[in-house]
Protein backbone atom coordinates (compact mmCIF):
# COMPACT_ATOMS: atom_id res chain seq x y z
CA UNK A 1 0.00 0.00 0.00
CA UNK A 2 1.39 3.40 -0.94
CA UNK A 3 1.85 6.17 1.65
CA UNK A 4 -0.62 8.39 -0.19
CA UNK A 5 -3.40 5.88 0.46
CA UNK A 6 -2.67 5.53 4.20
CA UNK A 7 -4.46 7.51 6.89
CA UNK A 8 -2.26 9.71 9.04
CA UNK A 9 -3.21 10.42 12.66
CA UNK A 10 -0.40 12.90 13.31
CA UNK A 11 -0.81 16.65 13.13
CA UNK A 12 1.58 17.09 10.20
CA UNK A 13 1.86 13.55 8.82
CA UNK A 14 4.78 12.58 11.05
CA UNK A 15 3.59 8.98 11.38
CA UNK A 16 3.78 8.43 7.61
CA UNK A 17 7.24 10.00 7.43
CA UNK A 18 8.40 7.67 10.21
CA UNK A 19 6.78 4.67 8.50
CA UNK A 20 8.72 5.50 5.35
CA UNK A 21 11.95 5.90 7.32
CA UNK A 22 11.56 2.49 8.96
CA UNK A 23 10.58 1.00 5.60
CA UNK A 24 7.32 -0.43 6.92
CA UNK A 25 8.96 -2.95 9.23
CA UNK A 26 6.29 -5.06 10.98
CA UNK A 27 7.50 -4.70 14.56
CA UNK A 28 9.34 -2.21 16.70
CA UNK A 29 9.11 -0.13 19.83
CA UNK A 30 8.10 3.50 20.23
CA UNK A 31 7.92 5.78 23.25
CA UNK A 32 5.40 8.61 23.28
CA UNK A 33 5.85 11.24 25.99
CA UNK A 34 2.74 13.34 26.42
CA UNK A 35 0.52 10.81 24.63
CA UNK A 36 -2.75 12.62 25.40
CA UNK A 37 -5.56 11.29 23.15
CA UNK A 38 -5.27 7.62 22.04
CA UNK A 39 -5.68 8.40 18.33
CA UNK A 40 -6.26 12.09 17.57
CA UNK A 41 -3.10 14.06 16.70
CA UNK A 42 -1.16 11.01 17.78
CA UNK A 43 2.20 10.00 16.33
CA UNK A 44 2.15 6.32 17.36
CA UNK A 45 -1.37 4.92 16.86
CA UNK A 46 -0.55 4.26 13.20
CA UNK A 47 2.33 2.00 14.29
CA UNK A 48 0.39 0.15 16.97
CA UNK A 49 -2.24 -0.78 14.40
CA UNK A 50 0.53 -2.40 12.37
CA UNK A 51 2.00 -4.59 15.09
CA UNK A 52 4.38 -2.31 16.94
CA UNK A 53 4.47 -2.03 20.72
CA UNK A 54 5.04 1.05 22.77
CA UNK A 55 5.33 2.90 26.03
CA UNK A 56 2.84 5.74 26.39
CA UNK A 57 3.52 8.30 29.11
CA UNK A 58 0.69 10.64 30.10
CA UNK A 59 -0.02 12.44 33.42
CA UNK A 60 -3.76 13.14 32.97
CA UNK A 61 -5.82 10.37 34.65
CA UNK A 62 -8.78 10.71 32.25
CA UNK A 63 -6.50 10.37 29.23
CA UNK A 64 -4.77 7.36 30.76
CA UNK A 65 -8.11 5.60 31.16
CA UNK A 66 -8.85 6.22 27.49
CA UNK A 67 -5.39 4.98 26.50
CA UNK A 68 -5.84 1.76 28.50
CA UNK A 69 -9.18 1.12 26.80
CA UNK A 70 -7.81 1.37 23.26
CA UNK A 71 -4.02 1.07 23.21
CA UNK A 72 -3.74 -2.60 24.16
CA UNK A 73 -0.28 -3.16 22.66
CA UNK A 74 1.25 -0.36 24.70
CA UNK A 75 2.24 0.02 28.33
CA UNK A 76 0.56 3.07 29.88
CA UNK A 77 2.55 5.08 32.41
CA UNK A 78 0.49 7.62 34.36
CA UNK A 79 3.13 10.20 35.22
CA UNK A 80 4.91 13.35 34.13
CA UNK A 81 8.59 13.29 33.25
CA UNK A 82 11.34 15.63 34.33
CA UNK A 83 14.93 15.96 35.49
CA UNK A 84 16.40 13.55 38.08
CA UNK A 85 16.46 16.13 40.88
CA UNK A 86 12.71 16.73 40.49
CA UNK A 87 11.56 13.16 41.14
CA UNK A 88 8.52 12.90 43.42
CA UNK A 89 5.28 14.75 42.79
CA UNK A 90 4.47 17.97 41.00
CA UNK A 91 1.59 20.35 40.34
CA UNK A 92 0.17 19.78 36.87
CA UNK A 93 -2.07 22.40 35.26
CA UNK A 94 -5.10 21.05 33.39
CA UNK A 95 -6.01 23.28 30.46
CA UNK A 96 -9.45 23.70 28.90
CA UNK A 97 -7.87 22.29 25.75
CA UNK A 98 -6.31 19.23 27.36
CA UNK A 99 -3.51 18.88 24.83
CA UNK A 100 -2.09 22.18 26.15
CA UNK A 101 -1.95 21.00 29.79
CA UNK A 102 1.43 20.80 31.43
CA UNK A 103 3.76 21.40 34.34
CA UNK A 104 4.04 24.89 32.89
CA UNK A 105 1.56 26.59 30.57
CA UNK A 106 1.59 29.78 28.56
CA UNK A 107 -0.06 32.82 30.17
CA UNK A 108 -2.82 32.93 27.56
CA UNK A 109 -3.88 29.29 28.16
CA UNK A 110 -7.10 28.87 30.14
CA UNK A 111 -6.60 26.38 32.97
CA UNK A 112 -9.53 24.60 34.64
CA UNK A 113 -7.73 23.01 37.58
CA UNK A 114 -4.44 21.88 39.04
CA UNK A 115 -3.73 18.29 40.04
CA UNK A 116 -0.84 16.53 41.74
CA UNK A 117 0.94 13.99 39.56
CA UNK A 118 3.84 11.60 39.92
CA UNK A 119 7.03 12.99 38.41
CA UNK A 120 9.75 10.58 37.34
CA UNK A 121 12.45 10.34 34.69
CA UNK A 122 12.43 8.60 31.34
CA UNK A 123 15.45 6.56 32.44
CA UNK A 124 13.43 5.28 35.42
CA UNK A 125 10.49 4.34 33.17
CA UNK A 126 12.74 2.49 30.74
CA UNK A 127 14.62 0.70 33.53
CA UNK A 128 11.31 -0.58 34.93
CA UNK A 129 10.45 -1.83 31.42
CA UNK A 130 13.74 -3.72 31.13
CA UNK A 131 15.61 -1.08 29.09
CA UNK A 132 14.19 -2.18 25.72
CA UNK A 133 15.68 -1.16 22.39
CA UNK A 134 13.84 1.95 21.19
CA UNK A 135 13.16 2.73 17.54
CA UNK A 136 11.78 6.21 18.01
CA UNK A 137 10.64 8.65 20.68
CA UNK A 138 8.09 11.40 20.25
CA UNK A 139 8.04 14.19 22.84
CA UNK A 140 5.26 16.74 23.42
CA UNK A 141 5.31 18.27 26.90
CA UNK A 142 4.43 21.92 26.31
CA UNK A 143 7.66 23.60 27.37
CA UNK A 144 9.57 21.21 29.65
CA UNK A 145 11.35 19.29 26.90
CA UNK A 146 14.86 19.99 28.20
CA UNK A 147 14.04 18.73 31.70
CA UNK A 148 12.65 15.52 30.21
CA UNK A 149 15.81 15.03 28.15
CA UNK A 150 17.99 15.68 31.20
CA UNK A 151 16.34 12.62 32.75
CA UNK A 152 17.16 10.45 29.73
CA UNK A 153 20.52 8.89 28.83
CA UNK A 154 20.78 9.32 25.07
CA UNK A 155 24.25 7.78 25.19
CA UNK A 156 22.80 4.55 26.57
CA UNK A 157 19.53 4.18 24.69
CA UNK A 158 20.29 5.83 21.32
CA UNK A 159 16.81 5.94 19.74
CA UNK A 160 16.99 5.98 15.95
CA UNK A 161 14.71 9.02 15.73
CA UNK A 162 13.80 11.67 18.29
CA UNK A 163 10.81 13.85 17.41
CA UNK A 164 10.45 16.92 19.64
CA UNK A 165 7.66 19.50 19.63
CA UNK A 166 9.69 22.56 20.54
CA UNK A 167 8.43 25.61 18.58
CA UNK A 168 12.16 26.56 18.21
CA UNK A 169 11.90 27.74 21.81
CA UNK A 170 15.15 26.59 23.35
CA UNK A 171 18.73 26.96 22.09
CA UNK A 172 19.70 24.90 25.17
CA UNK A 173 17.67 21.92 23.93
CA UNK A 174 19.34 22.04 20.52
CA UNK A 175 22.79 22.20 22.14
CA UNK A 176 21.89 19.43 24.61
CA UNK A 177 21.10 17.06 21.76
CA UNK A 178 24.04 18.20 19.63
CA UNK A 179 26.70 17.49 22.24
CA UNK A 180 25.19 14.04 22.74
CA UNK A 181 25.65 13.13 19.12
CA UNK A 182 22.29 14.02 17.57
CA UNK A 183 21.71 16.22 14.54
CA UNK A 184 18.58 17.92 13.31
CA UNK A 185 17.39 16.73 9.90
CA UNK A 186 13.85 17.97 9.44
CA UNK A 187 11.05 20.27 10.60
CA UNK A 188 7.34 19.47 10.36
CA UNK A 189 5.04 22.14 11.75
CA UNK A 190 6.29 22.86 15.30
CA UNK A 191 8.36 19.66 15.51
CA UNK A 192 12.10 19.11 15.18
CA UNK A 193 13.48 15.76 14.02
CA UNK A 194 16.81 14.50 15.38
CA UNK A 195 18.80 11.40 14.48
CA UNK A 196 22.22 10.13 15.62
CA UNK A 197 24.99 11.98 13.80
CA UNK A 198 26.13 8.74 12.15
CA UNK A 199 22.62 7.64 11.13
CA UNK A 200 21.57 6.75 7.63
CA UNK A 201 20.27 9.49 5.38
CA UNK A 202 16.87 10.71 6.52
CA UNK A 203 14.04 10.94 3.90
CA UNK A 204 15.00 14.44 2.85
CA UNK A 205 17.47 15.62 0.25
CA UNK A 206 20.99 16.37 1.55
CA UNK A 207 20.36 20.04 0.79
CA UNK A 208 17.06 19.84 2.66
CA UNK A 209 18.78 18.44 5.75
CA UNK A 210 21.54 21.06 5.53
CA UNK A 211 18.97 23.82 5.11
CA UNK A 212 17.06 22.59 8.17
CA UNK A 213 20.22 22.58 10.28
CA UNK A 214 21.21 26.04 9.03
CA UNK A 215 17.74 27.40 9.72
CA UNK A 216 17.77 25.93 13.22
CA UNK A 217 21.14 27.51 14.01
CA UNK A 218 20.03 30.88 12.64
CA UNK A 219 16.71 30.86 14.50
CA UNK A 220 18.27 29.87 17.80
CA UNK A 221 21.08 32.43 17.44
CA UNK A 222 18.56 35.16 16.68
CA UNK A 223 16.55 34.27 19.79
CA UNK A 224 19.68 34.28 21.92
CA UNK A 225 20.69 37.74 20.69
CA UNK A 226 17.15 39.04 21.22
CA UNK A 227 17.13 37.68 24.77
CA UNK A 228 20.50 39.31 25.52
CA UNK A 229 19.29 42.68 24.21
CA UNK A 230 16.12 42.46 26.28
CA UNK A 231 18.13 41.69 29.40
CA UNK A 232 20.50 44.57 28.74
CA UNK A 233 17.65 46.99 28.07
CA UNK A 234 15.75 45.84 31.17
CA UNK A 235 18.84 46.53 33.27
CA UNK A 236 18.79 50.18 32.21
CA UNK A 237 15.21 50.78 33.35
More confident residue, 2 or 122: 122
Q: How many angstroms separate the most distant Cα atoms in the chain? A: 63
**Three-state SS for 99?**
helix
Q: Which residues contact 75 (CB under 8 A, 6 or more apart)?
A: 54, 55, 56, 129
Q: How many CB atoms lie within 10 A of CB 180?
A: 16
* Domain total in the chain: 1
CB atoms within 10 A of CB 17: 22
Q: Does position 139 have pLDDT exceeding 90, yes or no?
A: yes
Q: What is the CATH number of the domain that holds 90?
A: 3.40.50.150
Residue-number span of the structural domain to which 76 is assigned: 3-235
Q: What rounded mean pLDDT belongs to the chain? A: 86
pLDDT tens figures, 181-217: 999 999 898 899 999 998 876 655 343 444 444 454 5
> Which pLDDT score is estimated for 2?
60
175 close to 149: Cβ distance less than 8 angstroms: no
Arithmetic mean of pLDDT, 63-71: 97
34-51: per-residue pLDDT in tens? 999 999 999 999 999 999
Average of per-residue pLDDT across 139-167: 93
Q: What percentage of the chain has pLDDT greater than the value 70?
A: 81
Amino acid sequence: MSLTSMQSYSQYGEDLILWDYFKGKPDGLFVEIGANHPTALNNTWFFEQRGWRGILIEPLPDRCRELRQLRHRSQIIEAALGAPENRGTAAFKVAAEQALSGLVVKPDIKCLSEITVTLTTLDDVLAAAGNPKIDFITLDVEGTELNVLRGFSLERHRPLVLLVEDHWRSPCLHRHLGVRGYRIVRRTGVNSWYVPADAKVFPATPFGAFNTSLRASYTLLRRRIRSQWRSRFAGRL
